[in-house]
Structure 1
Amino acid sequence: MPTKRQALILTEIVRIYNETGQPVGSKTLMNQLPIQISSATIRNEMAALEEDGLIMKNHTSSGRLPSTSGYRYYLDYLLQPSVVSPQVFSTISQDFDRDFHEIDDIVKQSANILSNLTNYTSISLGPETINVTLTGFRLIPLGGDLVIAILATSMGSVESRVYRIPASISSDDLEKAVRIINDHLVGLPIDQVKQQLATEMPQLLTKYLHSPDGFLDMFGDVLRHAAAEHFYIGGRSNLLNSVQPDDLNRIKSIYQLLDKESVFPSLLDLRPNNDHQQSTDKPISVKLGDEFDNALLNDYGLITARYHVADHGEGIIAILGPTSMPYSQLIGLMQLFTDELVKKIYEYYNHFHDDS
């Protein structure tokens, strides 16, 4: 456990290194520390920090830089979030000051705002709730054997997809099937709709359709897309800013990583890690380097903030960037940003329910 003086020196090393990208020497610290300490004393304290594995030597200079363990100690025990400037607050307010027609539009906009403010890659996942219900289902003929299926939920989202109807299903049968869906499933939570789709509905629809399989496949598909977790990524290319230009293989691998829809939800997994103090109980948490399950991200950090929107569920926003991100500024920003995002989501739901 570092002493108070060692903790102060570690904090300054993190701050200076994050700002300059250069290893920090004793003379620089002597001029920057808020207390007066001799250069020799600073070197002794730096030696102790290095022995504890919290800082490490850069082979090209006599300076030191934080190790992953040093960053972890700083994040868990020493960090003080910065106050967001009025200019940044104004930018966030202006970028959210527009009408949104779906909750996904707000989620997508939040990723873009956060990426533009930080110049890092941002990830946004909308509120997830078990209380979302089916509010309506329609089929609109497009000509020939094509129809557009439209499914609406209580969270204000509307999913529409085009399907080819089997020749064995007549238009009258389709109308009957849609009526059955609306009579029996509208108002039920999505999870119950899925359950009935697999149990009771096939038998019920068989009374009206010679073969309900084609219709059930179509309804099940549009329901699955409507209920899927929608996450958005802003500033994808910013993730490459920390990659050396000549490391072409790594650049290619990271681009492939960004294209895999299964990757980012796994990055946002905040289950407690026994190696550090991270917990799902924290509204804002940070994952570093080898704490990821992917070696491609060893030089990166992920700042994740959870937000709650009462009955509408819980969402996530995150920033993915180099390990040497200015955490104090970014965590202060995330605290403010989640408050503004929650206000906008509440505003949307209040407006949605007023109009419904």
Structure 2
Amino acid sequence: MLTKRQEDILRLIIQNYTSDEQPVGSKTLMESGIEASSATIRNEMKTLETKGLVLKTHSSSGRVPSLNGYRYYVDHLLVPNTVSTEEIVTVKHAFAKEFHEINEIIRQSAALLSQMTNYTALALGPEMSDRKLTGFRMIPLNQRQVVTIIVTDKGNVQSSVFTIPSTMKLHDLETIASIVNDRLLNESLLTVYHRLRTEIPMIMNRYFQSTEGILDVFEHLLSQAFEDKVFVSGRMNVLNFEADQSGTNVKQLYDFMKDSEALGQLFASRNGSIQVKIGKEIGVDLFENMSMIQANYEIENHGLGTIALLGPANMPYAQMYSLMNLFKDELAMTLADYYKGLDHVYHL
């Protein structure tokens, strides 16, 4: 552990560096309120450097925080800021609009958070493995392409465009939709997922000489319905604070940020209310100089959701921590109200 003065110096180094991204020297620390001589402050900074909490740059006698320094700050020194009235009004206004589906609320939260911070925002809705299939439609776009739409009792809509097999005719779509609606409607998705692998293939064989490609489409669509859907806004903002701008690294970042499955893995740990992961703690080498603040929320009877910010390691943690706390509370209330509305409709 550090002494009180060492903690004060570390806190002020981080706050000043976050503000202007310039190495912090003893003079700045004296001006910021450290009551000690320049020599004493330099000795304390050398101690912090020895402990791996700050780094000395080659161009100045000032220090900058290390990733371990940020970790210590978050764990021991962080005092969340008071959220501004303007931020509260902005967030509440955004969530006060009328929403038509769950995914719209989740998508809106990610877009607004990214807009307010200029970082990358990720949002994951509540887990609903017990949801039921309440609607299934197949709509032709042309002679070969079809849109399939799945609707669940929790307000989720999942659509997918696919190309039908060459052996299949458009009028066969009505037969497929009838089979699904007659046998799977109002069943839990877990049951639907199971029956698509057991009962439905045998039934399809009664109606079609070949089911090649058809069952693969169903499996893909239902797999998507089961997967946690990550909404991402400001994907390429990560390039604004990534030091390595080489062509190879930019391409790797771009490819990763397009991979929803990979992004979902960032939420591997969803314990606690607000978590801060710094550098390698994120679990992705591309983000080793970044930080992620993850806020989890729970909707009674509907599961756990998450919203997160991916930004530079020198992000203003006190400000972002408070903003994330506001976001998760407003998002949770909005979703809870939406679910109550659905429950009211279903019980009429």
- Give the TM-score taking structure 2 as reference length: 0.89
Show the counterpart of 1:348: 338
Show the counterpart of 1:82: 81
Deviation at 1:175, TM superposition (A): 4.7
Find out whether 1:338 has 2:338 as its counterpart: no
Show the counterpart of 1:57: 56
Cα distance 1:3–1:151, how it changes in 2: closer, same or farther (>3 A)?
Answer: same
Q: Secondary structure at the match of 1:319?
A: strand
Find out whether 1:316 has 2:315 as its counterpart: no
CA contact (8 A) 1:131 1:312 kept: no
Cα distance 1:142–1:317, how it changes in 2: closer, same or farther (>3 A)?
Answer: closer
Q: Secondary structure at the match of 1:286?
A: strand
| 1:147-177 C-alpha deviation (Å, 9 max, x unpaired) | 5433211221223345555576678875555
1:8 is aligned with what amino acid?
D
| 1:326-348 C-alpha deviation (Å, 9 max, x unpaired) | 01110111011100011111222
1:229-248 aligned at under 5 Å gives the runs 229-243=228-242, 247-248=246-247
Cα distance 1:188–1:19, how it changes in 2: closer, same or farther (>3 A)?
Answer: same
2:280 and 2:226 map into 1 onto residues whose CA distance is: 33
Deviation at 1:313, TM superposition (A): 1.6
Deviation at 1:206, TM superposition (A): 3.8
Show the counterpart of 2:221: 222
CA contact (8 A) 2:204 2:211 kept: yes
Deviating more after overlay: 246-255 vs 70-79:
246-255
Show the counterpart of 1:18: 18
Show the counterpart of 1:282: 272
CA contact (8 A) 2:124 2:231 kept: yes
2:241 and 2:172 map into 1 onto residues whose CA distance is: 58
CA contact (8 A) 1:30 1:39 kept: yes
| 1:77-102 C-alpha deviation (Å, 9 max, x unpaired) | 22111111111010111222322222
Cα distance 1:302–1:245, how it changes in 2: closer, same or farther (>3 A)?
Answer: closer
2:112 is aligned with what amino acid?
I
- Give the TM-score taking structure 1 as reference length: 0.87
Find out whether 1:94 has 2:93 as its counterpart: yes
Deviating more after overlay: 88-97 vs 220-229:
220-229
2:215 is aligned with what amino acid?
L
Show the counterpart of 1:181: 180
Deviating more after overlay: 285-294 vs 136-145:
136-145
2:146 and 2:27 map into 1 onto residues whose CA distance is: 73
2:111 and 2:313 map into 1 onto residues whose CA distance is: 21
1:170 and 1:296 map into 2 onto residues whose CA distance is: 47
2:288 and 2:87 map into 1 onto residues whose CA distance is: 30
1:185 is aligned with what amino acid?
L
Deviating more after overlay: 281-290 vs 19-28:
281-290
2:273 is aligned with what amino acid?
P
Show structure 2 runs of 5+ residues with no match: none
Cα distance 1:236–1:40, how it changes in 2: closer, same or farther (>3 A)?
Answer: same
1:95 is aligned with what amino acid?
A
Moved over 6 A (4+): 167-173
CA contact (8 A) 1:177 1:208 kept: no
> What percent identity do the matched residue pairs reach?
42
2:325 is aligned with what amino acid?
Q
Deviating more after overlay: 88-97 vs 157-166:
157-166
Show the counterpart of 1:254: 253
CA contact (8 A) 2:143 2:170 kept: no
1:302 is aligned with what amino acid?
M
Show the counterpart of 1:30: 30
Deviation at 1:21, TM superposition (A): 0.8
CA contact (8 A) 1:131 1:311 kept: no
2:327 and 2:31 map into 1 onto residues whose CA distance is: 34
1:20 is aligned with what amino acid?
D
Show the counterpart of 1:67: 66
2:329 is aligned with what amino acid?
D
Show the counterpart of 1:119: 118
Coordinate RMSD, CA, aligned: 2.6
Structure 2 counterpart of 1:297, from 279, 287, 291: 287
2:49 and 2:141 map into 1 onto residues whose CA distance is: 70
1:185-196 aligned at under 5 Å gives the runs 185-196=184-195
